Amino acid sequence: MHLLIKSIEDYMLPCMWKKTFNVDCMGCGMQRSIALILKGELIAAFYMYPAIYTLICMFIFFIFHLKFHFKNGHKIILGLFILNISIIVTSFLMKHLNS
């Protein structure tokens, strides 16, 4: 498992937005957050990218919805999408307004 995590960290994609404009984008930290989850550092993963757990829940629910066609699944997915966008934008603004 340690070897898998180390190889994931070695092949993380660079943020072209950050390289070009020297400012974090709204997705900066997501890959590192996933690596932290795989290491078992769950709180650090949340601090790295606050929307990580709600995004994981949304994608898991989406996969189940594709398989089982829940009656109001589309409404739940829309709600989770709005929640995730809200968390991402809020954390982005807080990060940049505090620095």
Domain coordinates of the chain in residue numbers? 1-49, 52-99
3-46: per-residue pLDDT in tens? 666 677 788 889 899 999 998 899 999 999 999 999 899 999 99
pTM: 0.87
Half-sphere exposure of 73 (CA within 13 A, CB side): 14
Query: Average pLDDT of 66-86?
Result: 96
Residue 33, class by beta-carbon neighbours within 10 Å (0-12 exposed, 13-18 middle, 19+ buried)? buried
pLDDT attached to residue 11: 85
Give residue-wise pLDDT tens across range 49-64: 999 999 999 999 999 9
User: Any idea what the Cα angle at residue 56 is, between residues 5 and 70, rounded to 5°?
Assistant: 145
